[in-house]
Structure 1
Amino acid sequence: MENPIYIGLSRQVALRAQMDVIANNVANMSTPGYRSQNMVFTEFLEKPKGKNDTIGKQDPLSFVLDYGHYQTNEPGSMQYTGNQLDVALNGPGYIGIQPQGSTETAYTRAGNFQVNVKGELVTGRGDPVMGEGGGAIIIPEDSGKIKIAEDGSIANANGQIGKLKISEFDDLQALEARGDGLYYTTQEGKPAEKTRAIQGMVEGSNVKPVLEMTRMIDVLRSYQSTQRLLQSEHERQRTMIQRLSRGS
C-alpha cells in the first residue's frame, strides 16, 4: 500500500472518531448536567522507508492521530422545575454519587433527584446521593417541606437531615465520563468553596445543537473529500499497473 493511502486512511480513522464524539454530544442534548466533549488531534511523523538514502533528503510522512478528547466545562442553562428535591450547581463543583453495584464514588452535575422506597435521596437512575459523611442521605417520610441551602445542607421543619457532598477538583479535564451523566476521577475532591446549590432547578446540557450539527457536516464533507482522494489514488495505481503490464 502506498504512502498517500496510509495518510488518507489515518485521516478517515480520526474523522470517524470525531464523528462518534459529535454524535454522542447530539444524543445528550437533553441530558441534565451533561458536558460536551471535543476531540484533540496531533501529527504523527514517520521517516519514509527507502533503500537508497543518498539521493536527496525526504520529508517525513505526516499522519493524523486522534490524541484524545477534552471536556467543555461551560455551564449549561438553568431550568426551573419547582421540585423541592432538584438541585442545580452554580460553580465548578460536582455532587458525589454512589453508583449501584459499585464501590467507586462517581460525581454528577445532574441534580434531578427523588426519594426511593428506602427513603434514600437518589438520582434519576436510582443511584444514592452521597452525604458529606459518605453515606446515603435519608429523607424521612414525614419530612414535609424540604429546604436545600446554598452549601448543600438539607433540612425539614425539625432541622438538618443531611448535606450534599459537593466537591471541587484541581483538574476538571481529569474527570472521566462513563455515561449516564456520571464522572470518575482518582483526584481527591476538595470541599466546595466556589460552588453554590440552587434548589428547585436543574442544570441542562451545555451542548450547542447548531454548533454540533455544523461540526457534523464539516466532518462528513472532510470524510467524503478524503474518500475521493483515495479513489483517485487507487485509479492512478491501477492505470500504472495496466500500462506496465502492456509494456512487458
Structure 2
Amino acid sequence: MDTTSYLALSRIDTLTRALDVTANNLANTNTDGFKGSRVLFSDYLSKQHNAHGLGSEKTLNYNQDKATYRDNLQGELRTTGNPLDLAINGRGYFAVRTQQGVRLTRDGKFQYSNDGTIVDSAGNPLLDNQNRNITLDPQDIPLRLSVASDGTISTDRGRVGSINLVTVDNTNTLKAEGDHLFRPTTPLRAVDTKEIRQGMLEASNVNPVAATTEMVKIQREYDLNFQLLQKDFTRRLNALDKITSEPTA
C-alpha cells in the first residue's frame, strides 16, 4: 500500500467517526436535555526526505480523530404547562439516584411514582439538597405543586423540599450514559445560583438543519475518499498486471 492509500484511509477513518457522532446528534434532536457532541480533528504531518529521489523534502498530511467533546450550549426552553416539567436556565444539573449511583441530567421531565416520589422518565428519584429522594405525601399530590426559581418545592399545605442542582469544575469530564444521563468522574459541587423554570423543558441543543447538512457533507467527502482509494487500488493492480505479463528476456 502506497502513500495515496494511507492518506485516503486516514481521512476515511476520521470521517467514519464524524459520521457516527453526527448521526447520533441527529437522532436526538427531539430528546429533551440532550447535548450534541463534536469531533475534534488534527493533522499529523510527516516529512518525507529525498522525495522522488531529487533530494527534496515533501510533507504528507494525515488526519487524526483527536477527541470528541460535548457542546454544553443551553437548548431552547419551551413551555409545556406541566407542573412537573422543570428546566434549568443557566448552569447546573438535576441529580437523580440510579441503581449505579448518582447521575446528572438536564432532562427535567419528571412524574410521580406510585409512592409519591418524584422520578425521571426511567424511574430514577430526583434528589433534594441533602441527597434524599423527594417524596410527597399522598395527600399532597392532588394539591397545586409549586417549584420556585431556587428549587423550593411547595404545595398548598407548605414546603415539601428543595431540588438539588449540582455541577462539576469541567463538564467535559462527565461521561454520557444513554441519551440524557451523565456519570460524574470528579467531585460534585452545588451551583452558586439556581434558576429553575417550572412548566418548561429544555430542548435538545442540536440544530436539525445544521446536523443534516453536516451529515450530507461528511457522506460526500467519505465517498470521494473511498473512490480515490478504489482508483489507487485499480492503478496498482493494473501496474502489477503489466509487470507480470511482460515477457522475460
Q: Helix, strand or coil for the counterpart of 2:69? A: strand
Distance of 2:245 and 2:49 partners within structure 1? 29
Q: Does 1:119 align with 2:105?
A: no
Q: Tell me if structure 1 keeps the 8 A contact 2:107–2:180.
A: yes
**Residue aligning to 2:100:** 102
String of CA shifts for 1:160-179, please: whole Å, max 9, x gaps.
21111101332222222221
Distance of 1:46 and 1:120 partners within structure 2? 59
5+ residue gaps, structure 2? none
- Which shows bigger deviation, 186-195 or 25-34? 186-195
Distance of 1:121 and 1:46 partners within structure 2? 57
Give the deviation of 1:188 after TM superposition. 2.2
Q: Tell me if structure 2 keeps the 8 A contact 1:110–1:202.
A: yes
**Residue aligning to 2:244:** 245
Matches within 5 A, 1:1-248: 1-46=1-46, 56=55, 58-59=57-58, 61-99=60-98, 101-103=99-101, 105-143=102-140, 144-247=143-246, 248=248
Distance of 2:175 and 2:56 partners within structure 1? 44
5+ residue gaps, structure 1? none
| Letter paired with 2:229 | L
- Which shows bigger deviation, 111-120 or 39-48? 39-48
Distance of 1:81 and 1:94 partners within structure 2? 20
- Which shows bigger deviation, 169-178 or 148-157? 169-178
Query: How well do the aligned residues superpose, as a CA RMSD in angstroms?
Result: 2.2
Distance of 1:35 and 1:211 partners within structure 2? 14
Distance of 1:60 and 1:93 partners within structure 2? 46
TM-score (norm 1): 0.91
Q: Tell me if structure 2 keeps the 8 A contact 1:41–1:65.
A: yes
Aligned length: 245
Give the deviation of 1:60 after TM superposition. 5.2
Q: Tell me if structure 2 keeps the 8 A contact 1:93–1:194.
A: no
Q: Percent identity?
A: 30
| Letter paired with 2:83 | Q
Q: Helix, strand or coil for the counterpart of 1:236? A: helix
String of CA shifts for 1:53-109, please: whole Å, max 9, x gaps.
x9736545432111121111221111111111111000011111112x212x21111
Give the deviation of 1:195 after TM superposition. 3.6
- Which shows bigger deviation, 214-223 or 55-64? 55-64
TM-score (norm 2): 0.91
Q: Helix, strand or coil for the counterpart of 2:4? A: helix
| Letter paired with 1:128 | P
CA 44–185 in structure 1, closer or farther in 2 if over 3 Å, else same:
farther
